[in-house]
Amino acid sequence: MDDKYLNNLRHSCAHLLAHAVKQLYPGALNAIGPAIENGFYQDFDMGKWSISEADFPKIEAKMREILPNWKKFSFNEISLPEAKKLFKDNKYKVEMATEFAKQGKKLQTNDPGDFLDLCKMGHVENPSKELGHFRLISIAGAYWRGNEKNKMLTRIYGTVWPTQPELDTYLKMLEEAKKRDHRKLGKDLDLFVFSDLVGKGLPLLTPKGTTLKRTLERFIVDEEIKRGYLHVSTPPIAKVDLYRTSGHYPYYKDTMYPPMKVDEEELILRPMTCPHHFALFKSRPRSYHEMPVRFAEISPQFRYEKSGELTGLIRVRTFLLSDAHIITPKNQADEEIEKVLDLISYVNKAFGLKSGTDYRFRLSLGDRKDSKKYYKDDKMWDYAENVLREVLNHQDVPFYEAKNEAAFYGPKIDVQMKNVNGKEDTAFTVQYDFVMPKRFNLRFINNKGQEEEPVVIHRASIGAFERTMAFLIEHYAGALPFWLSPVQVIILPISDKFKDYSVKVQDELVNNGIRVDRNDESKGSGAKIRESTLQKIPYLVIIGEKEAGSGQIAVRTREGKDLGPIKINEFITKLKSQIENFS
Amino acid sequence: MDDKYLNNLRHSCAHLLAHAVKQLYPGALNAIGPAIENGFYQDFDMGKWSISEADFPKIEAKMREILPNWKKFSFNEISLPEAKKLFKDNKYKVEMATEFAKQGKKLQTNDPGDFLDLCKMGHVENPSKELGHFRLISIAGAYWRGNEKNKMLTRIYGTVWPTQPELDTYLKMLEEAKKRDHRKLGKDLDLFVFSDLVGKGLPLLTPKGTTLKRTLERFIVDEEIKRGYLHVSTPPIAKVDLYRTSGHYPYYKDTMYPPMKVDEEELILRPMTCPHHFALFKSRPRSYHEMPVRFAEISPQFRYEKSGELTGLIRVRTFLLSDAHIITPKNQADEEIEKVLDLISYVNKAFGLKSGTDYRFRLSLGDRKDSKKYYKDDKMWDYAENVLREVLNHQDVPFYEAKNEAAFYGPKIDVQMKNVNGKEDTAFTVQYDFVMPKRFNLRFINNKGQEEEPVVIHRASIGAFERTMAFLIEHYAGALPFWLSPVQVIILPISDKFKDYSVKVQDELVNNGIRVDRNDESKGSGAKIRESTLQKIPYLVIIGEKEAGSGQIAVRTREGKDLGPIKINEFITKLKSQIENFS
């Protein structure tokens, strides 16, 4: 099965959906309806109607009812005046036809089952035979042409596959992904919330979510300090001029917040940390003795994302990046990049992720012909891309090369993480930058007493905290590894009589650095065990008559395994070793 | 000596300074010249002239030269037209005269030593005899009338005292304060820098400054968690509406940054954390089981401060507050406030500060007659002020009461810290708030199953990190307590031969959680010891022939005390106990 056939199948099904909706809801107008990964969508101006996912069975039934009459897509090329006449009731079609005509594109219509539509083409041969294995998936709002100044339309997402088993497999995968959706789990496990009053895309981490964040933060800060990074704290706002100097301002302007006038200065929320670290580097002369300088920061950053693109913790309007900039003599760059890859491997191992299956490396290259997107210096690009390639070869890790994916200031290595949908996202990056040192006039005194220009390696060790948390929640379906679990142990006394002993056990665990909750509610212990298991707390300590007398505890895992009675000290030793081994 | 006499003395001396400057720099115009704490200042429009502190001896000499002729201040009441005529060359005087006249104030002139000036009065009887003990202190820029839209004037600060010994004492104190100035020490000890490119009032903490910050942060977070606080992470930006709901927006608007339009929302940098915590509290129903809810956060906040008011780390445009909001049933408020005071005492003890000498408590009250500044509910004010008063009485700590110092939503307890200038600043506060629960409609279900309105206690445990760091640096003249020192131990091998052993010693200390530097430079050990002592590193470990062989180390303190040879293990035990005891 080639991608083209799947695209045609899905695009065809979008037409079928349009036909069904227009029959069921007279006056509804269909706008665009393209194929997308794993399916399609179709936008509608629903006019006086309002629909929800509850209407899907009705719409699907109508699609099935119509389908036998969809014998074939016939094509007619038409003129713009004809198009304007044929689609005079649909302003969206007229707008598109006018624009296509202006661009010199052909205008074509098709009318399977007498459903006349304007379309860019790409359909199946026998719709009535091929379109049977579809399902409507979800509904969302979407601005006409993606512009928030236009009307909000109703977007229906659907999927369609060549065979029923393929459809079933996909729906099952979807079901599984839904269960793992960090937005759902974030709520169920009380990790984060959003608030209309605070604003869109601005998550509020609860005490549990904050514990996860803090555990990640201390882990990476301590590890980076061990590896020679110098953690610094720079302000989350700065003068717009700083980003003009770096060249970010014109380039990233669309994803930056508007500037704020203050006194005689124009301040702006920072979209990245690099220029701040350069300012710190330049605050005094630097000698080769202290090079490379590895400035790291757990850095709050701000990117303006359109409200339609906000997604849980994955696409947010403010995030915390484990950022660093290694300012190094050119001849040590390869060594430094190897060290960064070592750190990333270490981090991924701590997260329980495997190279090859859970993630892989991508070498993202520039394009010598695109001097608008990339800084023009062919020799430097060749050199830098080669440095990265050789490091990857030397590390002996699987990687692939991708053209036209570099930063504007140099090539990079991306760590591509596979998420629960099977899709790959860039989790962390390592970038080679030969442009910023020039823009900021970065210099150090080398061992010959001369001024030398360093290169900069930009890197994120555990990426954006929010996104990494979302990834881990989905990867583990909420059952985070013990060392990362916000509540690691819960103590469940089976009655009030055992409260004293429970408190004693809790104190002993807490004094050994374990995060412990206690549930004293006077419910049956069955209910309490069920609740704690649903909360994915790694260990449940049940305390009753037998335990209170013995100096032992009964431990059960969230998977339902009974560890039997165990001495508190032994349990503590086991837990400490789990923390040490990131398990 | 009463304050009125000192005020008259200082105000008189400002006139003398104006006279001298106008004689030395023809065309210079004097604007205002009031008495201030410990001295006075006088503003000048210097016209074509430009002066610096290097000119002070010349100006002081001129003041001394003029002084014998300053027999007395004579007074004349004049009309506005007369004033306009007399001061036609000085637009500042004309502007002030016009304004005074408009307000119905008398216009008066005086002319000691034939120096005619317009003035609000308040002078000494015999200037030539009384004004002798003065000194010019510093120079700064200051906008006319404090408004950045006006011209920047030159402000000269000076001091004057009734007797020479008093002047000498004050100058000595000033000298000492200068040595302890955190801005100077921050640079000398490489703790923080400012950058023109980043912007005014936006400090960049170096690796050492960040280590201090991180040590404080982990200390307070861990301690607060032990005491039942729930640390959370909420976004540093939010919708303006959030602060309209809280009532902060109209009230604090002048110190907030301008709003940013984003999509259909208006976002703004947060000036405080409370409404964020309320949004989190309201994200789900709350039961008495979980009350009081103590939300804490190491919270980045943003206040717009005028550039003239920025002072090192003390007055900045963005800061990190150890903030918390305790949402408690009304009948537990007193108990919760006691716990907060306990925490503050604990923190101050860890900082080596003594109640009574280094700090004291202030009970800051409202004003029943000022319903513009304070929320109107006399009964609640009486009740809340009494709760705070009783808590202070019960704690048996010295405190005093101050009228008209409350927050708009309730009375508070301020922890007043004495700084190196002998001045008191508010370091931490504990506020009783009965207004926000109403504004945000905060509720919990009490043990009778009914909805109940809680009260909120706002508190800062270690205040703003930047300000607390500035205070500690000045209090300890840079020689921070061991547990807070960014570099706790430095290893100084007396030659390259001992590098291996030095590295071994360093690793052993680092593995025991000590922050250690090593100076391998091939300088004489005398120079290295001097440098490390100037850097105020608590312990210097000198490694030579004798030590390398013996498994021992030679330790010296920053005070120059020789601890003699000591076994590494013993040294580590000593250091660990110092950390545990916050010494």
Tell me the per-residue pLDDT of B322-354, one tens digit each, with 9 for 90 and over.
999 999 999 999 999 999 999 999 999 999 999
Contact B236 A300 (CB under 8 A): yes
Indicate the pLDDT class of residue B252, thresholds 50, 70 and 90.
Answer: confident
Domain boundary among B475, B510, B540: B475
What DSSP element (H or E) covers B215?
Answer: helix B207-226
Identify whether A250 is preceded by a cis peptide bond (ω within 30 of 0).
Answer: no
User: The tokens of B418 are what?
Assistant: 């004495």
Contact B283 A193 (CB under 8 A): yes
Q: Is A65 exposed, middle or buried (0-12, 13-18, 19+ CB in 10 A)?
A: exposed
What DSSP element (H or E) covers B294?
Answer: strand B293-302
Examine the pLDDT at B444 and tell me if it is beyond 90: yes
In a domain, A143, yes or no: yes
Cα separation, A306 vs A312, in Å, equals 13
- Bridging pattern class, strands A293-302 and A230-231: parallel
Beta bridge partners of B431: B412, B458
For B52-93, write each residue's pLDDT tens digit.
999 999 999 999 999 999 988 888 888 999 999 989 999 999
Residue with tokens 């390696």: A457
Cα separation, A492 vs A503, in Å, equals 10
Contact A279 B307 (CB under 8 A): no
Under DSSP, is residue A516 helix (H, G, I), strand (E, B) or coil?
strand
Residue B340: the pLDDT is 96
> ipTM, 2 decimals?
0.86
A501 and A469 inside one domain: no
Closest Cα of chain A to B218: distance in Å?
9
Residue with tokens 């998420």: A419
Angle between helices B164-180 and B465-475 (to 10 degrees): 120
The amino acid present at A246, given as its one-letter code, is S
Give CA angle at A276 (A274, A277), nearest 5°.
Answer: 65
What's the CATH number where B316 sits? 3.30.930.10
Q: Is A297 exposed, middle or buried (0-12, 13-18, 19+ CB in 10 A)?
A: buried
Among B235, B237, B521, beta carbon nearest to A204: B235
Contact B199 A265 (CB under 8 A): yes
Instruction: Tell me the pLDDT of chain A (583 aa) as tens digits.
Output: 568 899 999 999 999 999 999 999 999 999 999 999 899 999 999 999 999 999 999 999 999 999 999 988 888 888 999 999 989 999 999 999 999 889 888 888 888 877 888 887 789 999 999 999 999 999 999 999 988 789 999 999 999 999 999 999 999 989 988 899 999 999 999 999 999 999 999 999 999 999 999 999 999 999 999 999 999 999 999 999 999 998 888 778 888 999 999 888 899 999 999 999 999 999 999 999 999 999 999 999 999 988 888 999 999 999 999 999 999 999 999 999 999 999 999 999 999 999 988 999 999 999 999 988 888 999 999 999 999 999 999 988 889 999 999 988 899 999 999 888 777 888 889 999 999 999 999 999 999 999 999 999 999 999 999 999 999 999 999 999 999 999 999 999 998 899 999 999 999 999 999 999 999 888 888 999 999 999 999 999 999 888 887 878 999 999 999 998 899 999 999 999 999 999 8
Cα separation, A554 vs A577, in Å, equals 19
pLDDT > 70: what percent of chain B? 100
Interface test with A, best of B152, B202, B264, B276 (most A CBs within 10 A): B202
Q: Which domain holds residue B514?
A: 489-580
Interface test with B, best of A237, A246, A255, A318 (most B CBs within 10 A): A237
Cα separation, A483 vs A211, in Å, equals 11
Residue B1: the pLDDT is 52
**Nearest by Cα to B430 from B326, B292, B275, B297:** B326
Closest Cα of chain A to B249: distance in Å?
14
Under DSSP, is residue A571 helix (H, G, I), strand (E, B) or coil?
helix
In a domain, A8, yes or no: yes
Among A245, A264, A306, beta carbon nearest to B197: A245
- Bridging pattern class, strands B399-402 and B359-364: parallel
Among A200, A260, A521, beta carbon nearest to B258: A260
A424 and A518 inside one domain: no
What's the CATH number where A562 sits? 3.40.50.800
A302 and A416 inside one domain: yes
Strand order in the sheet with A489-493: A516-518, A489-493, A539-543, A552-557, A562-567
Residue A105: the pLDDT is 85
Domain boundary among B475, B500, B530: B475
- Cβ distance A109 to A119 under 8 Å? yes
What's the CATH number where A53 sits? 3.30.980.10
Contact A231 B318 (CB under 8 A): no
Chain A residue whose CA is closest to B275: A198
Q: Is B415 exposed, middle or buried (0-12, 13-18, 19+ CB in 10 A)?
A: buried
The amino acid present at B492, given as its one-letter code, is L
Among A203, A257, A307, beta carbon nearest to B235: A203
Closest Cα of chain A to B466: distance in Å?
11
Examine the pLDDT at B94 and tell me if it is beyond 70: yes
Chain B residue whose CA is closest to A289: B521
In a domain, B265, yes or no: no
What mean pLDDT value characterizes chain B? 93
Interface test with B, best of A234, A249, A512 (most B CBs within 10 A): A234
Among A205, A267, A306, beta carbon nearest to B232: A205
- Longest CA span, chain B: 91
A424 and A317 inside one domain: yes
A498 and A424 inside one domain: no
User: The tokens of B281 are what?
Assistant: 């509290």
Which residues in chain A touch residue B222, judged by CB atoms under 8 angstroms apart? none
Residue A122: the pLDDT is 83
A217 and A144 inside one domain: no
Under DSSP, is residue A397 helix (H, G, I), strand (E, B) or coil?
coil
Contact A210 B232 (CB under 8 A): yes
A17 and A56 inside one domain: yes
Which residues in chain A touch residue B262, judged by CB atoms under 8 angstroms apart? 257-258, 304, 317
User: The tokens of A321 are what?
Assistant: 């990046």
In a domain, A511, yes or no: yes
Cα separation, A557 vs A574, in Å, equals 13
| Residue B311 DSSP class | B
Cα separation, A240 vs B91, in Å, equals 37
**pTM for this entry:** 0.86
In a domain, B346, yes or no: yes
Domain boundary among B420, B452, B475: B475
The amino acid present at A275, given as its one-letter code, is P
Closest Cα of chain B to A345: distance in Å?
23
CB-defined contacts A:B, below 8 A: 173
Among A200, A211, A282, beta carbon nearest to B265: A200
User: The tokens of B64 are what?
Assistant: 């001394």
Cα separation, A172 vs A276, in Å, equals 47
Which residues in chain B touch residue A528, judged by CB atoms under 8 angstroms apart? none
B21 and B126 inside one domain: yes
A441 and A500 inside one domain: no
Closest Cα of chain A to B207: distance in Å?
5
Interface test with B, best of A213, A239, A262 (most B CBs within 10 A): A262
In a domain, A134, yes or no: yes
For residue B57, give every residue at least 6 positions away whose Cβ sits within 8 Å of its Cβ, in sequence order, or none.
Answer: none
In a domain, B244, yes or no: no
Contact B197 A148 (CB under 8 A): no
Which residues in chain A touch residue B242, judged by CB atoms under 8 angstroms apart? 197-199
Between the CA of residue A502 and those of A547, A563, B576, what are the distances in Å? 10, 18, 31
B208 and B322 inside one domain: yes
User: The tokens of B21 are what?
Assistant: 């400057």
Residue with tokens 């992904």: A177
A94 and A226 inside one domain: no
Which residues in chain B touch residue A289, judged by CB atoms under 8 angstroms apart? 521
User: The tokens of B83 are what?
Assistant: 């004033």
Contact A233 B258 (CB under 8 A): no
Interface test with B, best of A233, A255, A517 (most B CBs within 10 A): A233
Residue A437: how many CA atoms within 13 Å on its side-chain side? Answer: 20
Indicate the pLDDT class of residue B265, thresholds 50, 70 and 90.
Answer: confident
Instruction: Please count the structural domains in chain B.
Output: 3
Contact B233 A202 (CB under 8 A): no
- Cβ distance A413 to A392 under 8 Å? yes
User: In A181-239, which ranges are continuous DSSP H helix?
Assistant: 182-188, 207-226
Contact B233 A211 (CB under 8 A): no
Examine the pLDDT at B574 and tell me if it is beyond 70: yes
| Selection from A431-445, A517-531, B103-117, B256-270 with the highest mean pLDDT | A431-445
Contact A318 B213 (CB under 8 A): no
In a domain, A547, yes or no: yes
Between the CA of residue A262 and those of A246, A433, B572, what are the distances in Å? 21, 32, 50
- Cβ distance A252 to B170 under 8 Å? no
CB atoms within 10 A of CB A248: 22
A172 and A204 inside one domain: no
Contact B200 A265 (CB under 8 A): yes
Closest Cα of chain B to A583: distance in Å?
22
Under DSSP, is residue A93 helix (H, G, I), strand (E, B) or coil?
helix
